[in-house]
Chains A and B, each alone.
Chain A
Amino acid sequence: MTAAFGVVSISASVRSGEVRALDVLDAHLEVVASHEAGVHAFNEVTAEQARVAASMIDGIVAGGGDPGPLAGVPIALKDNLCTAGTPTTCSSKILQGWHPPYDATVVQRLAAAGAVFVGKTNLDEFAMGSSTENSAFGPTRNPHDQTRVPGGSSGGSAAAVAAGFAAGALGSDTGGSIRQPAALCGVVGAKPTYGLVSRYGLIAFASSLDQVGPFAMSVADAAALLDVISGPDPMDSTCLGEATARSASRLGSGVEGLRIGLITEMQGAEGMADDVKARLALAADALSGAGAKVDQVSVPAVTFGLSAYYLIAPAEASSNLARYDGVRYGLRAPGSADITDMYLRSRSAGFGDEVKRRIMLGTYALSAGYYDAYYGQAQKVRTLIVKDFAAAYENFDVLLSPTAPSTAFEIGAKSADPLTMYLNDVFTIPSNLAGHPAVSVPFGVGDDGMPIGVQVLAPALAEPLMFQVAEVLESLAPPAPLSASRRSLRALGAPADRGAAL
């Protein structure tokens, strides 16, 4: 039943003509209509464009053509991915009403593969946050419990998949912005190796850390999405120039004989909840039971990851966000006396508090006299993290950690204290600093009944191995309920008069 609404199963059914893309889309749009008001996953639902796209897919199938590997799959896009002609806001007032004249490379690739875009999802403004509360358009709520946050910054994408609004989604992950909301919403979310997926058209937060990645209800579906969006792109100098092995290439291979390391520094960290710790232990045992060799491993430098991250990411952000100045597009405060006045007033009115904090933090870290102490030192910490991971991978194939320190917290619980909020990313940040892939897999629920995620970390470009382990973990996970709205997805009727449900 859930599989029927998965990425792989939908495209198979649509390509075979078993179901129509338009019916698949309508089923999801019905759930959007009934539950979006409560969840607020979207900044914009693009129902009409989606219907046109789905009809085209059905036309291709009817004509005997191949609409591509994601034929008719409803996908939600984080609203920091540029979509030609469709507003792209980054959940910021400063970009409200901006229509990009071009599509992000990942958007082009999904469209070419036959995906149907349901809408643009809410995020923490400019992807800065861990709860999707920092949105100029209001918070997104967790589909499992609307009093709680969905995580962030890609909270809208995670919630859209968890809520049954879409079969899959794209998010971006700078310090955990895919994996942490995936964990909090009970879905799979993967951050690929830096450079595997083009960043062209992803509105930058911190360029050396940002990476686009998939959300889905299953590991296989996430891998299928990643395989469509990854690959060389001449528009992105930091995108790897050669094709790599398919992420889904090792699915079904089991974990027999694999060496899996439990990162010591990520088991007793600050603010880590007991139920999260217990689920991690359970996951380790399960993998061990499946034939893997599980052991403790120390990666000492990861404990400095959070500090290094909160110097590097704001520094790059302070520069990336300078362009929002009211000259060429976006918000301009009216009636300014001179250009500087216009900059000051436009930027102050257009950015929210968290964005301002990070811009100032980054400006400070780069400013004369502090560069070496802050930015320079953080870049060296980055080197140490890479080195310590390399040492760990000499003895282990993949590493294991919790994704987030706790289950989803109440809306408003952490918004007053930025530092407490930042601690949400403590387990996810090291992979961004190292440029390595990592995936969060749902692994049961916590004492509060909310989803818990376990993170599988792998060396650069080892996505096939990472998904291989993640899939086994998924198969061994304790049961976790679907959200009420996803449960409400109606069974799909076959096209025309055939009545068989999928």
Chain B
Amino acid sequence: MPRSITTDDVAHVARLARLQLSQEELTRFTQQLAAVLDHARDVESLDTTGVVPTAHALPLVNVLRDDVVTPSLDRATVLAEAPEVEDHRFRVPKILGDSQ
């Protein structure tokens, strides 16, 4: 199990998750996350060699749909929910660089 989580780690994941934290929040969240992660350390004591991870409790495989067109949404309805619209498109502030 890795070392305890630090304020740097929390600042890093907050950035990855696009959350802005004040200094006070950073300190508080770090303490709280550390407590949860310390508790979670008990999974470390389990011997899981050879154990296959379970992503899903389901026995399903090959759930496929036919390639048949179904109605799309009305554009006006869709755009009515948007914070900003221009030229029938969703408008966003300028993009710096490429996040991909």
Direct contact between the two chains A and B in their complex (CB within 8 A): yes
Q: Which of B30-58 contact A (CB under 8 A)?
A: 32-33, 35-37, 39-44, 46, 48, 51-58
Nearest-CB residue, chain A, relative to B50: A380
Q: Which of A328, A339, A351, A376 contacts B93 (CB 8 A)?
A: A339
Interface residue? A340 (CB, 8 A): yes
A326 to B55 CA separation, bound complex (whole angstroms): 30
Interface residue? A144 (CB, 8 A): no
A435 to B57 CA separation, bound complex (whole angstroms): 5
CB–CB A101/B78 < 8 A: yes
- Stretch in A183-191, A306-314, A462-470, A494-502 with 4+ CB within 8 Å of B: A306-314
Interface residue? B73 (CB, 8 A): yes
- Stretch in A236-244, A277-285, A287-295 with 4+ CB within 8 Å of B: A236-244
Interface residue? A91 (CB, 8 A): no
For B1-15 the 0/1 string (1 means CB < 8 A from A) is 110010001101110
CB–CB A304/B18 < 8 A: no
Q: Which of A311, A374, A381, A386 contacts B46 (CB 8 A)?
A: A381
Question: B25: which A residues are within 8 A, CB to CB?
Answer: 356
CB–CB B93/A337 < 8 A: yes
Given contacts A208-B56, A329-B82, A382-B54, are A361 and B36 in contact (CB under 8 A)?
yes
Q: Which of B53-85 contact A (CB under 8 A)?
A: 53-58, 60, 63, 65, 73-74, 77-78, 81-84
A320 to B27 CA separation, bound complex (whole angstroms): 26
Question: A376: which B residues are within 8 A, CB to CB?
Answer: 53
CB–CB A379/B90 < 8 A: no
Interface residue? A487 (CB, 8 A): no
- Stretch in A22-30, A121-129, A342-350, A406-414 with 4+ CB within 8 Å of B: A342-350
- Count residues of B near A (Cβ-Cβ below 8 Å): 55
CB–CB A194/B57 < 8 A: yes
CB–CB B81/A318 < 8 A: no
For A341-379 the 0/1 string (1 means CB < 8 A from B) is 111110110010000110111011001011001101111
Question: A33: which B residues are within 8 A, CB to CB?
Answer: none
Nearest-CB residue, chain B, relative to A340: B96
A500 to B96 CA separation, bound complex (whole angstroms): 72
A285 → chain B, closest Cβ, in Å?
A: 32
Q: Which of A241, A306, A318 contacts B17 (CB 8 A)?
A: A318
CB–CB B51/A306 < 8 A: no
Given contacts A98-B81, A194-B58, A325-B18, are A310 and B63 in contact (CB under 8 A)?
no
Nearest-CB residue, chain B, relative to A337: B93
CB–CB B90/A327 < 8 A: yes
Nearest-CB residue, chain A, relative to B65: A234
CB–CB B33/A361 < 8 A: yes
A383 to B41 CA separation, bound complex (whole angstroms): 18
B69 → chain A, closest Cβ, in Å?
A: 15
A341 to B95 CA separation, bound complex (whole angstroms): 10
Q: Which of B20, B40, B54, B58 contacts A311 (CB 8 A)?
A: B40
A375 → chain B, closest Cβ, in Å?
A: 9
Q: Which of B35, B46, B54 contacts A419 (CB 8 A)?
A: B35
A491 to B25 CA separation, bound complex (whole angstroms): 52
CB–CB B48/A377 < 8 A: yes
Interface residue? A45 (CB, 8 A): no
CB–CB B60/A307 < 8 A: no
Question: A348: which B residues are within 8 A, CB to CB?
Answer: 19-21
A101 to B73 CA separation, bound complex (whole angstroms): 8
Given contacts A307-B43, A339-B94, A343-B18, are A383 and B53 in contact (CB under 8 A)?
yes
Question: B82: which A residues are within 8 A, CB to CB?
Answer: 327-329
CB–CB A360/B29 < 8 A: yes
Interface residue? A195 (CB, 8 A): yes
CB–CB B93/A380 < 8 A: no
Q: Which of B20, B43, B60, B83 contacts A241 (CB 8 A)?
A: B60
Interface residue? A338 (CB, 8 A): yes
Nearest-CB residue, chain A, relative to B18: A343
Question: B13: which A residues are within 8 A, CB to CB?
Answer: 360, 363-364, 367
Interface residue? A418 (CB, 8 A): yes
Q: Which of B2, B10, B21, B95 contacts A370 (CB 8 A)?
A: B2
For A327-338 the 0/1 string (1 means CB < 8 A from B) is 111111000111
CB–CB B43/A386 < 8 A: no
Beyond the given pairs A342-B92, A364-B9, A417-B35, 20 more chain A to chain B contacts, judged by CB atoms under 8 angstroms and listed by A's residue number, are A237-B60, A237-B63, A238-B56, A240-B58, A327-B82, A329-B81, A332-B83, A339-B95, A344-B18, A344-B19, A347-B19, A356-B29, A357-B29, A361-B37, A364-B5, A370-B2, A373-B44, A384-B46, A419-B32, A435-B57
What are 26 A-B residue pairs whose CB atoms fall within 8 Å in the complex? A237-B63, A238-B58, A241-B63, A304-B46, A306-B39, A307-B41, A308-B43, A310-B39, A329-B81, A338-B94, A338-B95, A340-B96, A342-B92, A344-B20, A347-B18, A360-B10, A360-B29, A367-B16, A370-B2, A373-B44, A382-B57, A383-B53, A384-B48, A419-B39, A422-B36, A435-B58
Residues of B near any A CB (own CB < 8 A)? 1-2, 5, 9-10, 12-14, 16-21, 25, 29, 32-33, 35-37, 39-44, 46, 48, 51-58, 60, 63, 65, 73-74, 77-78, 81-84, 90, 92-96, 99
